[in-house]
Amino acid sequence: MDDLIREFVEETSEALSEVESDLLEMEQHPDAEHDVGNLFRLVHTIKGTCSFIGLDRLGGLAHAAENILGKVRDREMGLSADAVSTILEAVDVITQLLEGTADTGAEPEIDVAPLVTRLNAFADASGSAATSDHQNDDMMEMDIRDFPGPDDQDVDAEADSGLDDLDLEFGSNDTADDEADDGKVLSLADILGIDASAGHGDEGANAVDADLQEGFDDDTFGSDTEHADSDPDEPGALTLSAILGDLPDTVSVDDEDFSDADDDGEAENQSSTPSVNSIGDILANATSSRGAESSDASARSAPTNNDQPLTMASILAQCGPGKGQAPRPENPPPEKKSAPQPRQSPAAAAKASLPAAKEMTPPARDLQAKTAPPAKAEEAKDAPAKGAQSGATLRVNVELLEHMMTLVGELVLTRNQLSQLARQQSNGLFETSLQRLDQVTGELQEGIMKTRMQPIGNAWNKLPRILRDLSKDLGKKIELEMIGADTELDRQVLELIKDPLTHMVRNSADHGIESSDARKAAGKPEVGTVRLAAAYKESHVVITLSDDGGGLDAVAIRRRIVERGLAKADEAEAMTDHQMHQFIFAPGFSTATTVTSVSGRGVGMDVVRTNIEKIGGSVSLESELGAGTCFTIRIPLTLAILPVLIIGSGDERYGLPQINLQEVVQIRDRDNSGIERVSGSLLYHYRDDLIPIIELDEICGRATSDLASAYHKKFIVICRFGTITFGLICDSIFDTEEIIAKPVAKILNGIRYFSGTAILGDGAAIFVLDPNALAAKVGSKQNSSQAPSEKADEPQPDIDRTFQMIVFECVDGTRKALPITLVDRVEEFGPEQLEQIDQKIVVQYEGKLMPILEIDQALLHEQQKHSVIVFHDNDNFLGMKIAEICDIAELEIETDIEDLRPGCLGATVSEGRVIEILDVSYMMSTCFPQKYGARSVPYAGGTTSSVEILLVDDSKFFRNFVGPLLRTSGYNTTVVEHPRDALEMFDKHPDFDVIISDIEMPEMDGYELLRCIRQRPGGKDVPVIALSSYGSKTDIERGLNAGFNAYVSKLDKDGLLKALQRAIIETEMVA
Amino acid sequence: MNANPLSDVSPRHFGRDQSIVTASIRKQLYAFPILSIGDTIRVRSLTPAPGAQPVIPGVINLRGRIVTAICMRRFLGTPDASWEGSYGIIASYENEHYCFLFDRIGEVIPRERFEIEPVPGTIAPNCQQICTSIARIGNEIAIILDPNRVVQECFSAESETNGSGDN
């Protein structure tokens, strides 16, 4: 029974998804020709099977759904959206029941009665046939029960009309007899289905002579109701009517004709349809193959014998394939037994009737197409029970396939080893056999791979439904285009991308496509399109999901980024739109203003990305505001074979998945490797970026060297995982190899950086590096904005006050800290590089002389390297010797400290120790007095208020210096680089309390900016403070004359803060 | 110490007439019930598993199958040596294969040539965990090991290190 249920569940699931897609198709193109009959049959079969297995709820639902479909098929009602919704609802519940059944083996306790009632009501709404159907069912069943069991299966039904006698050969078997003898239910299915157990087919071949005259007898069939009131030896007749009733509709027969036929079956039949004479032939043809067909059919529908009268038709409905394809006879004959039926219910007869046996009275017009010509019937005989559409297929246990896959993998590896051996031996003896082995193995591997391939459409088949429901819920008009559904993918991969894909399609519909109104306003077609396309590219499948919706709103994302603290405002400002778009992959990130039932909860895209990357895929996106968004997903065809780059650490080799590989760089320059060590973290100057790097040696537990020259000749493999780009230093690079990755043994689960093991062609076992783990390691070390995913899970620190600080030990042993943004790099200089000029120690750096502070002249002669922190502003470099870097951490800056000495910006606490924050600007001013001018009064303390400040400065150094200073003093500060950005920002948010602007800027200087601001509405009264490196009296006067509210030297923190306070107080007083 | 008679030997691995395979570290003989093991090999190459616990030096390609090596020298606390020149005894545990590294593999000893005795209480604790009994083979004594227990010990060591010293 378990097997039975499992098979049932599988088959029914398939049928359900077909029903669903057919329905949607019909709904979308209501005018096109559709095979409602097919839909009907599918549902009918489900119903029949359910009843057989005893799944009453399922059966009841399917029955109710079938009623509606029957009406649609009979054109009693159109397939309205409501009808589709209602049926889909039923399909959902059936699916639910089915899943429950699959899990537990028994039908879950779900109350389906209300839905059934609704379905029936729906069917009734457009006529009463459905209900009467229902009643008829009962009645029919009752009547049939009343039949005496057939004494034998010989049924004589003579065709009086001069039609040829029909020989219906039915196999018989004992079961049929038994059941019949029990008087239980006259089992037509059994009669016909007897040779389902093929062996018995000949045992009791019985001739059934159908008597046309009988069929016309009123006594045989009730006239008002459709109850099948046959006399004892009628089963054959009934059978025929059922058989014939199932035939698709083409011929329409006038009621009148049948009424006439009533009087004189023979004559009238001849007259009513010119082809009546041929009916016998056709029937003979049909029936000669009936044995075969029905055996197929009954093999399939045998389960339905709970519901005997219905079963018959369902059985025959199953005979479809052959018949469906059969050319339609030119002159469709009315059928013997079916003839009376239209008379009994003329109205129904006039319409196309259900092929289902439920209506035992399929009208004559349904007759002919199903009556397959002999040739077709022969084919049908050979066809497997499932019908032609499933072809010669076998269900194979997936585990078996997996196992074969593994074996073939090993075979391939063995072959590789053998080939390698043979090459070394250069012994011609093996060559031919080896070549053959090579070829066969290759083909075998390909073949096995193919068995696991499934069209990607399998992962898509739920999408039309989802999108349809979504568009209803959201009130949008959305069309789903699917291209390349036949692109095949490994089934394992397919399973894994199913959910992410569904999620993304939902997102596109919800966030991507605008409302109809918005679309119209934007001049776009009202119906939005979500397009899903799949194609092969290299050894990957590339899936693109695009919509013609609104695109990603960079401004909204930027705002969210800052709100969520994923990046600081100034960082966010500096990002390109493309960079910003990547943030939608950050955990919990959503720009949706409201959470809908569909999406907007902010869980999702990060999971999507993780899932895709887990299977070695990648996802990227392009978006244009107003034009739409396009996601590109690349996934490997199969997980079984993984292309890796073999890299070496010492003598050991490791595999790195190629998908994560960006570039390989060799370090050629002995002295300037481009690698810097900052507090145990390594950074590499990669193009214009500073990326974190890790050493493979470290991963592999080998000793690493701190010497810069240690990296000479080594390779840096640039990898990318998610948003993190990082480098991996390794000793050597071998070739790329396709490997079959196996999971790491459970006992080795503790090792972090490997995702699998594999055997190389030369027989060596290697570990495969896990880019995910490497990226996580980098992320935790680096903890920078490059890894938003690492930070977002943690509670957000108060970003207004904390900074990423580099903590270092000075030469005198004290610890100091600096915001890391102010540090240019950390260098090592040998004594030979140090030079002395006018009491100062300098080095040549970037083509300039860089003064180095805190270095003892005595050290000049010692053979040791000096670690130097390098700062720079514009063209000036400044170095400061330090003992060592201690830490990089997010620290809070304390500025409320009295009497700080010059050179100290404030303090911070790290590991329980108070650490001075170095004032770089002070150091700059002491080293380059001519440029920065003298420093003024020490800082005295800040104030806190919720004041919005806009800071404009083209120098990164000062943005990073003044910005944090203002923020730590409690001002909400927005920092921009260009005056035009400032103006744009001001236009958007004219409620800035104070604007602080640099004077010397390219393109537009501070004076010009001031003029522009003053010209804007709302810009007349906003205080603007000038910030300049030039602090002479004339400069100040000029600034104040130009209309600046204050003019402050860049390095005069206190002056700036005081000026700010004054400006704020003044505005408040004015207001 | 409770007596550890023959009955205490896992019946699945040790029939009354089951032979044993001996292996040695330095001079000490160990033995496995022959049905508890799958194979014996000479270890020709081993891929180190960085980050694994010390008793696991790495993995071995055994005819296309990747097998986790467990160094019995380290496990039993005898002075360490390179895996090179080691011999391995292959056994499987929960569908995964393990290779126990020894200095030498001895011979198969039929049941009639040895006597089973209980484990003496004086045996080293780390050995106590994994041995089931003692085989007296003429003048020599072999400690009979249960491969399952060896692997289980490694797993529990693994979970301990993961529990405490992560990162």
Are B47 and A700 within 8 A, CB to CB? Answer: no
What's the CATH code of the domain at A677?
2.40.50.180
Domain check: are A208 and A120 in the same one?
A: no
Instruction: Please report the DSSP string for A47-103 in residue order.
Output: HHHHHHHT-HHHHHHHHHHHHHHHHHHTTSS---HHHHHHHHHHHHHHHHHHHHHHH
Per-residue pLDDT at A814 exceeds 80: no
From B24's Cα to the closest Cα of chain A, the distance in A is 24
Mutate to test the interface with B, among A412, A699, A728, A748 (most CBs of B within 10 A): A748
pLDDT of the residue at A328: 42
Instruction: Encode pLDDT of A202-251 as tens digits.
Output: 333 333 333 334 434 444 343 443 443 444 444 444 444 444 444 444 33
HSE (side-chain half, CA atoms, 13 Å) at A28:
18
Which among B47, B51, B154 is the nearest to A765, CB-wise? B47
What is the nearest CA distance from A753 to chain B, expressed in angstroms? 8
Contacts of A764 in chain B (CB under 8 A): 45, 47, 61
Closest CA–CA distance from residue B116 to any residue of chain A (Å): 31
What's the full length of chain A, in residues? 1071
A782 and A809 part of one domain: no
Q: Nearest CA of chain A to the CA of B6: how many Å?
A: 30
Is residue B110 predicted with pLDDT exceeding 80?
A: yes
Residue A708 one-letter amino acid: A
pLDDT at site A299: 40
Domain range for A572 is: 455-636
* Cross-chain Cβ contact B66/A759 below 8 Å: yes
For A766-780, write each residue's pLDDT tens digit: 999 988 788 888 766
Taking residues A650-656, report their average pLDDT. Answer: 89
B161 belongs to a structural domain: no
Residues A604, A683, single domain; the answer is no
Q: What was the pLDDT predicted at A1035?
A: 77
Mean pLDDT across A250-260: 41
Chain A residues close to B65, C-beta within 8 Å: 410
pLDDT over 80 (residue A563): no
Q: Which pLDDT belongs to residue A983?
A: 84
Q: Is the pLDDT of residue A345 over 50?
A: no
pLDDT score, position A799: 32
> For residue range A362-406, what is the model confidence (pLDDT) as tens digits?
333 333 333 334 433 334 344 333 344 445 778 788 788 878 887
Q: Which of B47, B62, B90 to mutate to test the interface with A (most CBs of A within 10 A)?
A: B47
Same domain? A870 vs A809 = yes
Question: Does residue A354 register a pLDDT over 60?
Answer: no
Residues in B touching A410 (Cβ below 8 Å): 64-65
pLDDT of amino acid B112:
86
pLDDT for the residue B69: 93
Residue B70 in any domain: the answer is yes
Positive or negative: CA dihedral A361, A362, A363, A367: negative
DSSP track, B120-167:
PTTS-HHHHTTEEEEEEETTEEEEEE-HHHHHHHHHHHHHHHHHH---
- Rounded mean pLDDT of B116-141? 86
CB contact under 8 A, B56 and A752: no
The verdict on residue A492 lying in a domain is yes
Q: How far is CA A156 from the centre of its chain?
A: 62
Q: What was the pLDDT predicted at A126?
A: 58
Q: Which residues in chain B have Cβ-Cβ distances shorter than 8 Å to A414?
A: 64
Q: What is the pLDDT of residues A516-533, one digit of tens each?
A: 888 888 888 888 888 999
Residue of higher predicted confidence among A921 and A349: A921
Are A624 and A547 within one domain?
yes
Average pLDDT over residues A541-559: 83
- Do A422 and A466 share a structural domain? no
Q: Do A745 and B96 touch (CB under 8 A)?
A: yes
Are residues A759 and A714 located together in one domain of the fold? yes
Q: Are B33 and B20 in contact (CB under 8 A)?
A: yes
Structure tokens, B143: 């400690």
Q: What percent of chain A has pLDDT over 70?
A: 60
A937: in domain: no
Residue to test with chain A: of B56, B66, B162, most A Cβ within 10 A: B66
Over residues A449-474, the mean pLDDT reads 82
Q: What is the pLDDT of residues A922-940, one digit of tens each?
A: 777 677 765 544 333 333 3
Among A571-575, A637-641, B23-27, name the one with the lowest average pLDDT.
A637-641
Burial profile A832-870: b = 16 or more Cβ within 10 angstroms, e = fewer: ebbeeeeeebbbebeeeebbbbbbeeeeeeeeeebbbbb
pLDDT at residue number A256: 42
At residue B1, does pLDDT exceed 60?
no
Share of chain A above pLDDT 90, in %: 1
Closest to A310 (Cα-Cα) out of A186, A214, A174:
A186
Comparison of pLDDT for A322 and A952, the residue scoring more: A952
Q: Is the pLDDT of residue B158 over 50?
A: yes
Token pair recorded at residue A722? 């998610």
Domain range for B86: 6-156
Q: State both tokens at A154.
A: 């010989």
Residue at B117 is within a domain? yes
Question: Which of A70, A101, A126 delimits the end of a domain?
Answer: A126
Q: In chain B, what residues touch A758 (CB-CB under 8 Å)?
A: 66
Q: Which of B52, B64, B66 sits opposite A414 (nearest CB)?
A: B64
When scoring B46, B53, B59 by the number of chain A Cβ atoms within 10 A, the one with the most, hence best to mutate, is B59
A30 pLDDT band (50/70/90 cuts)? low
Q: Which of A440-444, A722-726, B139-143 has the lowest mean pLDDT?
A: A722-726
Chain B nearest CA to A752, separation (Å): 7
Query: Could you read off the pLDDT of A136-170 as tens digits, one per residue?
Result: 443 333 333 344 444 443 434 333 333 333 333 34
Q: How many domains does chain A have?
A: 7
Same structural domain for residues A459 and A411?
no
Which residue among A414, A652, A750 places its CB closest to the CB of B162?
Answer: A750
Segment A1012-1024 mean pLDDT: 81
Highest mean pLDDT among A148-152, A312-316, A495-499, A946-950: A495-499
pLDDT of B89 above 90: yes
- The residue in chain B having the minimum alpha-carbon distance to the alpha carbon of residue A407 is B64
* Predicted pLDDT of residue A606: 76
Which residues share a beta bridge with A904?
Answer: A918
For residue B161, list chain A residues with Cβ-Cβ distance below 8 A: 750
Q: Domain for residue A230, yes or no?
A: yes
| pLDDT at residue A96 tops 70 | yes
Q: Is residue A821 part of a domain?
A: yes
Instruction: Answer whether B50 sits within 8 Å of A764, measured CB to CB.
Output: no
Nearest chain B residue to A742 by CA: give it: B66
Kindly determine whether residue A745 and residue B68, on different chains, have CB atoms separated by under 8 Å: yes
Picking from A105, A126, A147, the residue at the C-terminal end of a domain is A126
Interchain CB distance below 8 Å, A747 and B162: no
User: How many whole angstroms separate alpha carbon A48 and alpha carbon A301?
Assistant: 7
Residues A923 and A878 sit within 8 Å (Cβ to Cβ): yes
Distance in Å, alpha carbon of A12 to nearest chain B alpha carbon: 35
Nearest Cα of chain A lies from the Cα of B42 at a distance, in angstroms, of 15
Judge: B66–A757 Cβ closer than 8 Å, yes or no: yes
Looking at the fold, whether A970 and A989 belong to one and the same domain comes out as yes
Residue B58 in domain: yes
Is there a contact between A700 and B50 if contact means CB atoms under 8 Å apart?
A: yes
Contacts of B59 in chain A (CB under 8 A): 745, 748, 757, 765, 767
Which DSSP string do the residues of B82-129 spell out, in sequence order? -STT-EEEEEEETTEEEEEEESEEEEEE-GGG-EEEPPPTTS-HHHHT
Q: How far is B12 from chain A (nearest CA, A)?
A: 23
**pLDDT value for B71:** 92
CB neighbour list of residue A383: distance below 8 Å, 6 or more residues apart: A296, A321, A322
Q: Are residues A689 and A771 in the same domain?
A: yes
Interchain pair A652, B48: CB under 8 A? yes
Q: What is the pLDDT of residue A856?
A: 63
CATH no. for residue B89?
2.40.50.180
Q: Is residue A223 part of a domain?
A: yes
Please give the structure tokens belonging to residue A271: 């007259």
pLDDT tens digits along A849-876 = 788 877 666 666 666 777 888 876 656 7
Q: Give the domain-ending residue among A451, A466, A489.
A: A451
Q: Quick one: pLDDT at residue B91?
A: 92
* Cα separation, A66 vs A45, whole angstroms: 10
In B, minimum Cα distance to A746 occurs at B96
Strands (E), A670-748: 675-678, 681-686, 689-695, 715-721, 724-730, 732-740, 742-743
B166 lies in some domain = no
Residue A305 vs residues A1, A192, A206, A450: alpha-carbon distances, Å: 16, 12, 21, 39
- Give the mean model confidence (pLDDT) for residues A896-923: 66
A158 and A198 housed in the same domain? yes
SS (H, E, C) A132-146: HHHHHHHHHHHHHHH
CB pairs under 8 A between A and B: 74
Q: Is residue A151 part of a domain?
A: yes
- Is A132 part of any domain? no
Residues in chain A within 8 Å Cβ distance of B50: 699-701, 751, 753, 767
d(CA B33, nearest CA chain A) in Å: 23
Q: Which residues of A touch B (CB under 8 A)?
A: 410, 413-414, 652, 699-701, 742, 745-754, 757-759, 763-767
Same domain, A332 and A211: yes
At residue A684, what are phi and psi to the nearest 5 degrees? -130, 135
**B122–chain A nearest CA distance, Å:** 30
Q: What is the pLDDT of residues A466-492, one digit of tens each?
A: 888 888 888 888 888 888 888 888 877
Geometric angle at alpha carbon A1066, from A1060 and A1071, rounded to 5°: 125
Tell me the nearest-neighbour CA distance from B50 into chain A, angstroms.
5
Q: Is the Cβ pair A749, B158 closer than 8 Å?
A: yes
Nearest Cα residue to B54 out of B40, B65, B41, B69: B69
Can you give the pLDDT at residue A326?
39
Total of domains in chain B = 1
> Looking at per-residue confidence, does A304 or B106 come out higher?
B106
For range A97-109, the mean pLDDT: 76
Q: Which of B51, B60, B154 is facing A747, going by the closest CB pair? A: B154
Amino acid at A237: A
Q: In A115-125, which positions are buried (b, 16+ CB within 10 angstroms) versus exposed (e)?
A: bbeebbebbbe
Q: What are B's interface residues with A at a Cβ cutoff of 8 A?
A: 45, 47-53, 56, 59-61, 64-66, 68, 94, 96, 98, 151, 154-155, 158, 161-162
Is residue B165 in a domain? Answer: no
Decide if pLDDT at B4 tops 70. no
Look over chain A and give the mean of its residue pLDDT values, rounded to a whole number.
67
Residue among B48, B64, B158 minimizing CB distance to A750: B158
